[in-house]
């Protein structure tokens, strides 16, 4: 059991960090997910897709966390990234584009960001993502389309000249299919 769970941690970490936008929150989410997996291990069917089961547990943990904060917001102040954009400007280097992408991902609605990350980063099929999130495949396709369109708008709307592979002339939609 330990080895099977350990093999899934890198993918869980990658998804959690992109989903939450915060390394500490992502680590907490991963720990909560793994704890729940250990408590509910008997519910997993041997031979079924462990990765999808763990991502489903993580999704439910994340939703539970969001719901609990709606009713009981954390005591710390929340700062909107868009309000701090002038202070977050990075130099024009290769990492600048990565920061823009991460900033833009965090500005997507959570439902769209989840689908985009599951399909493009974690390489889940539409059907697997639909099962994981508990929505129809058509909803996955719609959310993915809207996420890619919105991400394209956010990336193209940057104040600096676009000089990278994510420039519209370079085929933004194609590059958003696989972010690995």
Q: Which residue has the higher pLDDT, 45 or 69?
A: 45
Enter the pTM of the model.
Answer: 0.52
Mean pLDDT computed over 96-109: 75
Q: Is 46 exposed, middle or buried (0-12, 13-18, 19+ CB in 10 A)?
A: exposed
Nearest to 14 by CA among 28, 30, 33: 30
Q: CB count, 10 Å around CB of 92?
A: 11
* Residue position matching structure tokens 């990565």: 98
Mean pLDDT computed over 130-152: 91
* pLDDT for 175 beyond 50: no
DSSP letter string over 125-168? -HHHHHHHHTS-HHHHHHHHHHHHHHHHHHHHT-SSPP-STTSG
* pLDDT for 91 beyond 90: no
CB 87 within 8 A of CB 41: no
Q: Report residue 99's pLDDT band, with 50, 70 and 90 as the boundaries.
A: low
Cα–Cα distance between 159 and 148 in angstroms, integer? 20
CA angle 154, 84, 103 (to 5 degrees): 35
Q: Is 137 exposed, middle or buried (0-12, 13-18, 19+ CB in 10 A)?
A: middle
Tallying the residues shown for the chain, one arrives at 180
List domains and CATH numbers for the chain: 2-71 (1.10.1740), 81-177 (1.10.10.10)
Cα–Cα distance between 16 and 27 in angstroms, integer? 8
Nearest to 11 by CA among 123, 162, 112, 161: 123
């Amino acid at each position: 059991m330990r080895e099977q769970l350990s093999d899934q941690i890198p993918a869980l970490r990658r998804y959690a960090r992109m989903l939450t936008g915060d390394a500490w929150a992502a680590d907490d989410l991963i720990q909560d997910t793994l704890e729940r997996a250990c408590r509910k291990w008997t519910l997993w069917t041997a031979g079924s897709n462990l990765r999808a089961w763990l991502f489903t547990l993580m999704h439910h943990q994340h939703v539970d966390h969001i719901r609990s904060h709606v009713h009981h917001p954390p005591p710390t102040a929340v700062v909107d990234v868009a309000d701090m954009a002038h202070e977050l400007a990075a130099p024009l280097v290769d990492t600048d584009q990565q920061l823009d992408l991460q900033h833009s991902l965090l500005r997507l609605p959570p439902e769209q960001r989840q689908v985009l990350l599951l399909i493009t980063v974690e390489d889940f099929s539409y059907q697997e993502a639909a099962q994981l999130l508990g929505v129809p495949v058509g909803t996955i396709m719609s959310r993915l389309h809207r996420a890619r369109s919105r991400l394209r708008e956010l990336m193209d709307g940057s104040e600096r000249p676009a000089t990278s592979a994510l420039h519209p002339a370079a085929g933004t939609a194609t590059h958003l299919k696989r972010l690995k």
